[in-house]
Structure 1
């Protein structure tokens, strides 16, 4: 059985290098990364079963490419260090602005949007009420935790530099709101339930919610043979259910619970992210 290459270093340490070749339009090895996963250990834990299943389906070994953050993942694709990246809408908007990339299949997620939440006893009832307030966001480049909430604030008529203070707190955003260190949190819709799980005695209220976001997307580097890209797309859709089970199996990608693979993505659906970057004054390139 073909196995995912966990790292070149591991193979060399074991004194083993693969010499097998696989029939099909793709290279013997396809290098894969995810913009939401940092480091090799995390990649192996989250995507090990998926790498094995995808390799079996397409006829290539899947080699994980570790990244330190979202920017590193985008740069890896730009400099041909990786063949395929699973990216969120925000990362894809950056990728297509910087380089020649190929759109592949996507993942349609349930409850994928941004919500602003406050304590139930707060006097904040709308985004406009956030003037002069402290707002916790997620991490730089997060679609639902940074780009879209920033865009929503600007659309509501707020100046991000003068009218309020936003803080990119990543995982600490929950505690910041629970402890009332901030007045509101702008993050993914699913994070509202996570907030209530962390503070079951607390009471919270959503004051604004975005439309559903564009789908996550598999992105191929521009130089990857189009026949290979088409083959990977075809095989993923042909084996969509078991491949999604492989992603969900390790329990590290719960954001894909109730998600499904789709092959009807268009460039136009990501234009809202490009427009959001422009509106909030963040460079894509």
Structure 2
């Protein structure tokens, strides 16, 4: 009897060993590529250009390939985080709130630019008769994407706080889909006015892609928390820590980091947390954009 038992035990041990190796191989395979995306608040080519140096930096810092995954719209970023198709995403405050609700709190914001702790949106026009928010009544107007924090949610919220209901008081409301597209709408005379985030406006002026002699800023929102880098639920905690520390080490005085920081339009990354976006969530509920 004894000789017959040993072969069976040996087979079971061998099977367990193979199972363990297969499981290890699967875990390693899942960690060979970090898939990253971003809300499409600018043209796809611009998003790719901005991310390229940052992606190379992160590859060196975390020791794995970093792949940028473009998406078609804001909702696709939220869904991709929720389903594990991407590991990390550049989100606006509102899209982070949407991802938190979609995943029942599983997504984790890790860092934000220092500027995002007090972000603003700028109202622009080429119409000489528009000088204040009140002058927008009866005019045509363009927001950015419906899920944009700085191109829709917070401007809509602050308009409502000023006693203006865009759906009732504007002649028409359009959604350009992106901040640079909103500027193009206003500059081409497709709408009387629009709103976009302050950072993109400043960049377009610096790059001479908008003529501030024709298109001007006539109002600015109060500050609010906005963009952040968020990781999916279930991402390895050690990898999450490495990513966070990599962002926090970026320094504009370091020549190797200068291009990264310039393209990301920041002087410093700082830690962030879910509680910072409670005001965004409250504004979204007030504006009727989430229930």
- TM-score interval for Structure 1 and Structure 2 normalised by the shorter chain: 0.7 to 0.9
Counterparts of 1:120 and 1:132, CA distance in 2: 13
Change (3 A) 1:54 1:153: same
Counterparts of 1:72 and 1:108, CA distance in 2: 26
Deviation (angstroms), 1:79: 0.4
Greater alpha carbon shift after TM alignment, 166-175 vs 135-144: 166-175
Cα deviations by residue, 1:114-147 (Å, 9 ceiling, x for unpaired)? 122334731x343233222211222222221111
Counterparts of 1:30 and 1:195, CA distance in 2: 34
Tell me which residue corresponds to 1:280: 287
**1:140 counterpart SS class:** coil
In our comparison, the structure showing a higher alpha carbon Rg is: 2
Q: Is the 8 A contact 2:145 2:175 kept in 1?
A: yes
Tell me which residue corresponds to 2:137: 131
Cα deviations by residue, 1:52-94 (Å, 9 ceiling, x for unpaired)? 2111112222122232222111111010111111212121111
CA RMSD of aligned residues (A): 3.2
Tell me which residue corresponds to 2:77: 73
Change (3 A) 1:205 1:75: closer
What TM-score does the superposition give when structure 2 sets the normalisation length? 0.74
**Hey, which bits of structure 1, 4+ residues long, moved more than 6 A?**
37-42
Cα deviations by residue, 1:225-266 (Å, 9 ceiling, x for unpaired)? 2222122212332344468535357xxx4xx32442111x23
Higher helix share: 2
Change (3 A) 1:133 1:50: same
What TM-score does the superposition give when structure 1 sets the normalisation length? 0.75
Deviation (angstroms), 1:104: 0.9
Counterparts of 1:248 and 1:116, CA distance in 2: 26
Give ranges in structure 1 of 5+ residues lacking alignment: 1-20
* Pair 1:257-2:268 in alignment: no
Equivalent residue runs for 1:1-285 within 5 Å: 27-36=31-40, 44-99=48-103, 100-109=106-115, 112-119=119-126, 121-122=128-129, 124-164=130-170, 165-169=172-176, 170=178, 171-190=180-199, 194=204, 197=208, 198-199=210-211, 201-202=213-214, 204-206=216-218, 208-241=219-252, 245-248=258-261, 253=263, 256-263=264-271, 265-283=272-290
Cα deviations by residue, 1:9-44 (Å, 9 ceiling, x for unpaired)? xxxxxxxxxxxx9xx9x9332221122378987665
Counterparts of 2:151 and 2:235, CA distance in 1: 31
Greater alpha carbon shift after TM alignment, 150-159 vs 77-86: 150-159
Q: Is the 8 A contact 1:38 1:67 kept in 2?
A: no
Counterparts of 2:194 and 2:41, CA distance in 1: 23
Counterparts of 2:190 and 2:269, CA distance in 1: 39
Deviation (angstroms), 1:192: 5.1
Counterparts of 2:44 and 2:124, CA distance in 1: 34
Q: Is the 8 A contact 1:151 1:280 kept in 2?
A: yes
